[in-house]
Structure 1
Amino acid sequence: MNPNKYPPAVNDELAYPGALSVGSKGVGVKRVQEWLSYHGFATAIDSDFGSATAAALSAFQQKKKISLNSTVDDVTWKALIEPIVNALEDGTGAQLDDRITSIAKNHLSMEPREFGGDNRGPWVRIYTGGHEGTEWKWCAGFVTFIMRQACIELGTPMPVAGSLSCDTLAAQAKDKQRLVTSESVVANGAAWQGLGGAYIFLVRNGAGDWRHTGFGFRGPTGAFGTIEGNTNDNGTDNGFEVCARTRAAAGKDFVRLI
Structure 2
Amino acid sequence: MQKTFYQKELLIKATQQRKGANNNKKDVEKIQSWLNLFAMQNPNSGAAAGIDGDFGPATEKAVFNFQKFKSLPQTGVVDQNVFDILVSPLKKAFEDPVSGSSLRELVLNTAKNHLKNHPFELVINNQSNSGPWVRSYMDGNEGTPWFWCMGFVQAIIDQAASIKGENFKTLMPLTYSCDTVGTVGIQKKILTRYQVAKTNPALIKPADIFLIQKTPNDWVHTGIVTAVHDDVIETIEGNTNADGSSNGNSVMNRIRNYKQSKIDFFSIESLVV
Residue correspondence of structure 1 range 49-88 to structure 2 within 5 A:
49-88=55-94
| TM-aligned CA distance change 1:172 to 1:107, over 3 Å | same
61-70 or 38-47: bigger deviation? 61-70
Structure 2 counterpart SS, 1:246: strand
Cα distance in 2, alignment partners of residues 198 and 207 from structure 1 = 23
Give 1:152's aligned amino acid: S
Given the alignment, which residue of 238, 253, 256 partners 2:264? 253
Per-residue Cα deviation, 1:114-162 (whole angstroms, up to 9, x for no partner): 1234100000000000000011000010001100000111112323234
Cα distance in 2, alignment partners of residues 7 and 28 from structure 1 = 21
- Equivalent pairs: percent with the same residue? 33
Residue correspondence of structure 1 range 69-218 to structure 2 within 5 A:
69-88=75-94, 89-116=96-123, 117-158=127-168, 159-188=171-200, 192-218=201-227
Does residue 39 of structure 1 match 2:38?
A: yes
C-alpha displacement at 1:103, in angstroms? 0.5
Q: Is the 8 A contact 2:3 2:158 kept in 1?
A: no
C-alpha displacement at 1:50, in angstroms? 0.5
User: Aligned-pair RMSD on alpha carbons?
Assistant: 1.4
Q: Is the 8 A contact 1:185 1:221 kept in 2?
A: no
Give 2:156's aligned amino acid: I
Cα distance in 2, alignment partners of residues 114 and 156 from structure 1 = 29
62-71 or 42-51: bigger deviation? 62-71
Q: Is the 8 A contact 2:204 2:228 kept in 1?
A: no
111-120 or 227-236: bigger deviation? 111-120
Give 1:38's aligned amino acid: L
**TM-score, normalised via structure 1 length:** 0.93
Cα distance in 1, alignment partners of residues 26 and 137 from structure 2 = 19
Cα distance in 2, alignment partners of residues 217 and 50 from structure 1 = 44
Cα distance in 2, alignment partners of residues 94 and 120 from structure 1 = 35
| TM-aligned CA distance change 1:207 to 1:157, over 3 Å | same
Structure 2 counterpart SS, 1:218: strand
Give 1:181's aligned amino acid: R
**TM-score, normalised via structure 2 length:** 0.88
Q: Is the 8 A contact 2:17 2:77 kept in 1?
A: yes
For structure 2, which runs of at least 5 residues remain unmatched after alignment?
40-46
C-alpha displacement at 1:97, in angstroms? 1.2
Cα distance in 2, alignment partners of residues 186 and 215 from structure 1 = 18
Q: Is the 8 A contact 2:192 2:203 kept in 1?
A: no
C-alpha displacement at 1:51, in angstroms? 0.5
Cα distance in 1, alignment partners of residues 89 and 164 from structure 2 = 22
C-alpha displacement at 1:180, in angstroms? 0.5
